Structure 1
Protein backbone atom coordinates (compact mmCIF):
# COMPACT_ATOMS: atom_id res chain seq x y z
CA UNK A 1 0.00 0.00 0.00
CA UNK A 2 1.39 3.41 -0.89
CA UNK A 3 1.05 6.21 1.61
CA UNK A 4 1.92 9.03 -0.77
CA UNK A 5 -0.92 11.43 -1.52
CA UNK A 6 -2.14 11.19 -5.09
CA UNK A 7 -0.37 13.55 -7.42
CA UNK A 8 -1.99 16.42 -9.28
CA UNK A 9 -2.02 15.99 -13.06
CA UNK A 10 -3.35 17.76 -16.11
CA UNK A 11 -6.90 16.67 -16.89
CA UNK A 12 -7.60 14.84 -20.15
CA UNK A 13 -10.74 14.63 -22.27
CA UNK A 14 -11.56 11.37 -20.47
CA UNK A 15 -11.70 13.32 -17.18
CA UNK A 16 -14.35 15.81 -18.36
CA UNK A 17 -17.34 13.89 -16.90
CA UNK A 18 -15.54 13.66 -13.52
CA UNK A 19 -14.55 17.33 -13.69
CA UNK A 20 -18.20 18.24 -14.27
CA UNK A 21 -19.42 15.89 -11.50
CA UNK A 22 -16.91 17.10 -8.88
CA UNK A 23 -17.51 20.76 -9.76
CA UNK A 24 -21.28 20.33 -9.53
CA UNK A 25 -21.07 18.42 -6.23
CA UNK A 26 -18.70 21.01 -4.73
CA UNK A 27 -20.65 24.11 -5.77
CA UNK A 28 -24.29 22.88 -5.69
CA UNK A 29 -24.77 23.65 -1.96
CA UNK A 30 -24.06 27.35 -2.67
CA UNK A 31 -26.94 27.84 -5.13
CA UNK A 32 -29.53 28.42 -2.42
CA UNK A 33 -27.18 30.60 -0.37
CA UNK A 34 -26.04 32.97 -3.13
CA UNK A 35 -29.22 32.90 -5.20
CA UNK A 36 -27.49 32.13 -8.51
CA UNK A 37 -25.68 29.17 -10.04
CA UNK A 38 -21.97 29.54 -9.18
CA UNK A 39 -19.97 30.38 -12.28
CA UNK A 40 -17.76 27.23 -12.16
CA UNK A 41 -20.89 25.10 -12.64
CA UNK A 42 -21.56 26.88 -15.94
CA UNK A 43 -17.99 26.60 -17.26
CA UNK A 44 -17.22 24.87 -20.54
CA UNK A 45 -15.28 22.03 -18.93
CA UNK A 46 -14.31 20.40 -22.25
CA UNK A 47 -12.87 23.69 -23.51
CA UNK A 48 -11.02 24.34 -20.22
CA UNK A 49 -9.51 20.82 -20.27
CA UNK A 50 -8.52 21.18 -23.94
CA UNK A 51 -6.84 24.51 -23.12
CA UNK A 52 -4.74 22.82 -20.40
CA UNK A 53 -6.34 24.86 -17.61
CA UNK A 54 -7.70 21.97 -15.50
CA UNK A 55 -5.64 19.88 -13.08
CA UNK A 56 -7.09 16.95 -11.13
CA UNK A 57 -6.15 14.74 -8.21
CA UNK A 58 -7.40 11.38 -7.00
CA UNK A 59 -8.49 8.16 -8.65
CA UNK A 60 -11.40 8.55 -9.12
CA UNK A 61 -11.07 12.34 -9.32
CA UNK A 62 -11.69 13.83 -5.85
CA UNK A 63 -10.66 17.41 -6.54
CA UNK A 64 -9.55 19.83 -9.21
CA UNK A 65 -8.37 23.34 -9.93
CA UNK A 66 -8.94 25.52 -12.97
CA UNK A 67 -6.17 28.06 -13.58
CA UNK A 68 -5.23 30.56 -16.28
CA UNK A 69 -1.81 32.11 -16.74
CA UNK A 70 -1.51 35.84 -17.44
CA UNK A 71 1.72 37.81 -17.95
CA UNK A 72 1.78 39.04 -14.33
CA UNK A 73 -0.18 36.41 -12.38
CA UNK A 74 -1.81 32.99 -12.27
CA UNK A 75 -5.57 33.27 -11.94
CA UNK A 76 -7.14 30.54 -9.81
CA UNK A 77 -10.58 30.31 -11.35
CA UNK A 78 -11.94 27.37 -9.37
CA UNK A 79 -11.04 24.93 -6.63
CA UNK A 80 -13.49 22.05 -6.31
CA UNK A 81 -13.30 19.16 -3.84
CA UNK A 82 -15.98 16.49 -3.87
CA UNK A 83 -17.90 16.58 -0.56
CA UNK A 84 -17.04 12.88 0.01
CA UNK A 85 -13.34 13.87 0.08
CA UNK A 86 -13.61 16.77 2.54
CA UNK A 87 -11.12 16.65 5.40
CA UNK A 88 -8.59 14.51 3.52
CA UNK A 89 -6.15 17.24 2.52
CA UNK A 90 -7.33 17.39 -1.09
CA UNK A 91 -7.87 21.17 -1.06
CA UNK A 92 -4.51 21.75 0.63
CA UNK A 93 -2.76 19.56 -1.96
CA UNK A 94 -4.45 21.51 -4.78
CA UNK A 95 -3.56 24.94 -3.32
CA UNK A 96 0.09 23.85 -2.92
CA UNK A 97 0.06 22.64 -6.53
CA UNK A 98 -1.26 26.03 -7.72
CA UNK A 99 1.67 27.75 -5.98
CA UNK A 100 4.20 25.33 -7.49
CA UNK A 101 2.60 25.79 -10.92
CA UNK A 102 2.75 29.61 -10.69
CA UNK A 103 6.40 29.46 -9.62
CA UNK A 104 7.24 27.03 -12.45
CA UNK A 105 5.72 29.54 -14.88
CA UNK A 106 7.80 32.33 -13.31
CA UNK A 107 4.71 34.26 -12.20
CA UNK A 108 4.98 36.61 -9.21
CA UNK A 109 1.51 36.12 -7.73
CA UNK A 110 -1.74 34.17 -7.68
CA UNK A 111 -5.09 35.93 -7.85
CA UNK A 112 -8.58 34.60 -7.21
CA UNK A 113 -12.03 35.73 -6.22
CA UNK A 114 -14.78 34.10 -4.26
CA UNK A 115 -18.41 34.95 -3.66
CA UNK A 116 -18.86 37.10 -0.55
CA UNK A 117 -21.47 34.61 0.72
CA UNK A 118 -19.06 31.66 0.50
CA UNK A 119 -17.75 32.55 3.95
CA UNK A 120 -15.88 29.26 4.34
CA UNK A 121 -13.42 30.54 1.72
CA UNK A 122 -12.86 33.75 3.68
CA UNK A 123 -11.44 31.57 6.46
CA UNK A 124 -9.46 29.23 4.20
CA UNK A 125 -7.61 31.55 1.81
CA UNK A 126 -5.95 33.81 4.42
CA UNK A 127 -4.58 30.65 6.10
CA UNK A 128 -2.69 29.99 2.87
CA UNK A 129 -1.25 33.50 2.63
CA UNK A 130 -3.90 35.14 0.45
CA UNK A 131 -4.72 38.76 1.24
CA UNK A 132 -8.05 40.45 0.55
CA UNK A 133 -7.58 43.14 -2.10
CA UNK A 134 -11.11 44.37 -2.82
CA UNK A 135 -14.80 43.59 -2.85
CA UNK A 136 -16.51 44.16 -6.19
CA UNK A 137 -19.92 43.39 -7.63
CA UNK A 138 -19.78 41.80 -11.08
CA UNK A 139 -23.35 41.39 -12.38
CA UNK A 140 -25.15 39.00 -10.00
CA UNK A 141 -21.92 38.12 -8.20
CA UNK A 142 -20.68 39.92 -5.06
CA UNK A 143 -17.01 38.96 -5.09
CA UNK A 144 -14.05 39.20 -2.75
CA UNK A 145 -10.79 39.44 -4.68
CA UNK A 146 -7.63 37.94 -3.15
CA UNK A 147 -3.98 37.85 -4.13
CA UNK A 148 -0.97 35.92 -2.92
CA UNK A 149 2.45 37.35 -3.77
CA UNK A 150 5.03 34.60 -4.29
CA UNK A 151 8.53 35.10 -2.96
CA UNK A 152 11.22 34.59 -5.56
Structure 2
Protein backbone atom coordinates (compact mmCIF):
# COMPACT_ATOMS: atom_id res chain seq x y z
CA UNK A 1 0.00 0.00 0.00
CA UNK A 2 1.20 3.51 -0.85
CA UNK A 3 0.26 6.61 1.13
CA UNK A 4 0.20 10.18 -0.22
CA UNK A 5 -0.32 13.01 2.28
CA UNK A 6 -2.05 16.31 1.33
CA UNK A 7 -2.30 18.59 4.32
CA UNK A 8 -4.69 16.69 6.58
CA UNK A 9 -5.76 14.29 3.84
CA UNK A 10 -4.12 10.91 3.19
CA UNK A 11 -4.56 9.08 -0.10
CA UNK A 12 -3.77 5.37 -0.12
CA UNK A 13 -3.18 3.19 -3.17
CA UNK A 14 -3.96 -0.51 -3.05
CA UNK A 15 -4.91 -3.38 -5.36
CA UNK A 16 -8.57 -3.29 -6.37
CA UNK A 17 -11.07 -5.67 -4.81
CA UNK A 18 -14.47 -6.90 -6.07
CA UNK A 19 -16.22 -4.33 -3.89
CA UNK A 20 -14.51 -1.59 -5.96
CA UNK A 21 -16.18 -2.49 -9.28
CA UNK A 22 -19.25 -0.23 -9.01
CA UNK A 23 -17.19 2.65 -7.63
CA UNK A 24 -14.72 2.29 -10.52
CA UNK A 25 -17.58 2.41 -13.05
CA UNK A 26 -18.96 5.59 -11.47
CA UNK A 27 -15.53 7.20 -11.27
CA UNK A 28 -14.81 6.36 -14.92
CA UNK A 29 -18.15 7.88 -15.91
CA UNK A 30 -17.44 11.07 -13.94
CA UNK A 31 -13.85 11.34 -15.17
CA UNK A 32 -14.56 10.70 -18.85
CA UNK A 33 -18.14 11.89 -19.54
CA UNK A 34 -17.12 15.40 -20.64
CA UNK A 35 -15.21 13.83 -23.54
CA UNK A 36 -18.31 12.17 -25.04
CA UNK A 37 -19.33 15.23 -27.01
CA UNK A 38 -15.80 15.81 -28.31
CA UNK A 39 -15.39 12.19 -29.42
CA UNK A 40 -18.94 11.70 -30.62
CA UNK A 41 -19.49 8.64 -28.45
CA UNK A 42 -18.58 7.50 -24.92
CA UNK A 43 -14.84 7.04 -24.44
CA UNK A 44 -13.73 3.41 -24.17
CA UNK A 45 -13.07 3.61 -20.38
CA UNK A 46 -16.75 4.42 -19.81
CA UNK A 47 -17.67 1.06 -21.34
CA UNK A 48 -14.89 -1.09 -19.87
CA UNK A 49 -15.67 -4.32 -18.02
CA UNK A 50 -14.40 -3.33 -14.58
CA UNK A 51 -15.47 -6.63 -13.00
CA UNK A 52 -13.13 -8.46 -15.40
CA UNK A 53 -10.33 -5.96 -14.77
CA UNK A 54 -10.60 -6.37 -11.01
CA UNK A 55 -10.89 -10.15 -11.35
CA UNK A 56 -7.70 -10.17 -13.45
CA UNK A 57 -5.83 -8.31 -10.71
CA UNK A 58 -4.74 -5.50 -13.04
CA UNK A 59 -6.30 -2.49 -11.25
CA UNK A 60 -5.12 -0.39 -8.32
CA UNK A 61 -7.30 2.19 -6.60
CA UNK A 62 -6.45 5.45 -4.86
CA UNK A 63 -8.64 6.29 -1.87
CA UNK A 64 -9.03 9.31 0.35
CA UNK A 65 -10.77 8.50 3.63
CA UNK A 66 -12.41 5.45 2.06
CA UNK A 67 -13.57 7.35 -1.06
CA UNK A 68 -12.17 6.22 -4.42
CA UNK A 69 -10.41 9.22 -5.98
CA UNK A 70 -8.61 7.42 -8.80
CA UNK A 71 -7.57 4.15 -10.33
CA UNK A 72 -5.08 2.70 -12.78
CA UNK A 73 -5.16 -0.44 -14.94
CA UNK A 74 -1.82 -2.01 -15.89
CA UNK A 75 -1.37 -4.88 -18.35
CA UNK A 76 1.78 -6.90 -18.98
CA UNK A 77 2.76 -7.48 -22.60
CA UNK A 78 5.77 -9.36 -23.99
CA UNK A 79 8.01 -6.29 -24.14
CA UNK A 80 6.42 -3.48 -22.10
CA UNK A 81 3.84 -2.57 -19.47
CA UNK A 82 0.66 -1.15 -20.98
CA UNK A 83 -0.95 1.60 -18.96
CA UNK A 84 -4.44 0.73 -20.14
CA UNK A 85 -6.44 3.25 -18.13
CA UNK A 86 -5.85 5.92 -15.52
CA UNK A 87 -8.69 7.98 -14.12
CA UNK A 88 -8.96 10.57 -11.37
CA UNK A 89 -12.20 11.83 -9.87
CA UNK A 90 -12.73 15.40 -11.16
CA UNK A 91 -13.13 16.58 -7.55
CA UNK A 92 -9.66 15.23 -6.71
CA UNK A 93 -7.80 16.49 -9.77
CA UNK A 94 -4.87 18.81 -9.18
CA UNK A 95 -3.85 17.02 -5.97
CA UNK A 96 -1.18 14.78 -7.49
CA UNK A 97 -3.27 11.60 -7.51
CA UNK A 98 -2.74 11.05 -11.25
CA UNK A 99 1.00 11.69 -10.94
CA UNK A 100 1.24 9.18 -8.09
CA UNK A 101 -0.68 6.58 -10.10
CA UNK A 102 1.75 7.12 -13.01
CA UNK A 103 4.65 6.66 -10.56
CA UNK A 104 3.05 3.39 -9.43
CA UNK A 105 2.99 2.28 -13.07
CA UNK A 106 6.73 2.92 -13.30
CA UNK A 107 7.37 1.02 -10.07
CA UNK A 108 5.28 -1.91 -11.30
CA UNK A 109 6.99 -1.92 -14.71
CA UNK A 110 10.46 -2.08 -13.18
CA UNK A 111 9.41 -4.71 -10.63
CA UNK A 112 8.02 -6.85 -13.48
CA UNK A 113 11.19 -6.51 -15.55
CA UNK A 114 9.93 -4.05 -18.17
CA UNK A 115 12.05 -1.17 -19.41
CA UNK A 116 9.17 0.68 -21.11
CA UNK A 117 5.62 1.79 -20.44
CA UNK A 118 3.22 2.44 -23.28
CA UNK A 119 -0.18 4.08 -23.22
CA UNK A 120 -2.67 5.63 -25.58
CA UNK A 121 -5.25 8.36 -25.30
CA UNK A 122 -7.94 9.68 -27.55
CA UNK A 123 -6.92 12.46 -29.91
CA UNK A 124 -9.86 14.53 -28.62
CA UNK A 125 -8.52 14.38 -25.04
CA UNK A 126 -6.26 17.33 -25.70
CA UNK A 127 -5.43 17.82 -22.02
CA UNK A 128 -3.69 14.43 -22.07
CA UNK A 129 -1.66 15.37 -25.14
CA UNK A 130 -0.01 18.06 -23.00
CA UNK A 131 0.05 16.12 -19.73
CA UNK A 132 1.85 12.93 -20.73
CA UNK A 133 4.88 14.65 -22.30
CA UNK A 134 5.31 16.61 -19.05
CA UNK A 135 5.56 13.22 -17.32
CA UNK A 136 8.29 11.98 -19.68
CA UNK A 137 6.16 10.21 -22.27
CA UNK A 138 6.98 10.61 -25.97
CA UNK A 139 4.37 10.43 -28.71
CA UNK A 140 5.14 7.45 -30.96
CA UNK A 141 2.28 7.41 -33.43
CA UNK A 142 -1.34 8.21 -34.19
CA UNK A 143 -3.81 5.71 -35.55
CA UNK A 144 -7.44 4.68 -35.61
CA UNK A 145 -8.08 1.74 -33.31
CA UNK A 146 -11.40 0.20 -32.30
CA UNK A 147 -13.17 3.14 -33.96
CA UNK A 148 -11.27 5.75 -31.91
CA UNK A 149 -8.59 8.17 -33.11
CA UNK A 150 -5.77 7.41 -30.68
CA UNK A 151 -2.42 8.93 -29.85
CA UNK A 152 0.19 6.46 -28.61
CA UNK A 153 2.92 7.33 -26.12
CA UNK A 154 5.89 5.50 -24.60
CA UNK A 155 8.26 6.15 -21.74
CA UNK A 156 11.64 4.48 -21.45
CA UNK A 157 12.63 3.21 -18.01
CA UNK A 158 16.07 1.97 -19.07
CA UNK A 159 18.62 2.36 -16.33
CA UNK A 160 16.06 1.94 -13.55
CA UNK A 161 16.33 -1.17 -11.48
CA UNK A 162 13.99 -2.85 -9.03
TM range (shorter): over 0.9
Could you tell me how far apart the structure 2 residues matched to 1:141 and 1:3 are?
34
- Within 5 A, what are the aligned runs for 1:3-152? 4=5, 5-58=10-63, 59-152=66-159
CA contact (8 A) 1:8 1:55 kept: yes
CA RMSD of aligned residues (A): 1.4
Q: CA deviation at 1:37?
A: 1.0
Q: Which has the higher strand share?
A: 2
1:18–1:120 distance in 2 versus 1, CA, 3 Å: same
CA contact (8 A) 1:26 1:81 kept: yes
Render the CA deviation track for 1:11-62: whole Å, top value 9, x for unaligned: 0001111111111110111001110111111111001000011110112110
What SS does structure 2 have at the residue aligned with 1:61? Answer: strand
Q: Which has the higher contact order (CA 8 A, sep 6+)?
A: 1
Q: Which residues of structure 2 form unaligned runs of 5+?
A: none
- TM-score, scaled to structure 2: 0.89
Could you tell me how far apart the structure 1 residues matched to 2:4 and 2:36 are?
36
CA contact (8 A) 2:31 2:89 kept: yes
- TM-score, scaled to structure 1: 0.95
Q: Which residues of structure 1 form unaligned runs of 5+?
A: none
Q: CA deviation at 1:151?
A: 2.1
Could you tell me how far apart the structure 1 residues matched to 2:123 and 2:17 are?
32
CA contact (8 A) 1:63 1:91 kept: yes
CA contact (8 A) 1:79 1:91 kept: yes
1:3–1:33 distance in 2 versus 1, CA, 3 Å: closer
CA contact (8 A) 1:36 1:140 kept: no
User: Which stretches of structure 1, 4 residues or longer, exceed 4 Å deviation after superposition?
Assistant: none
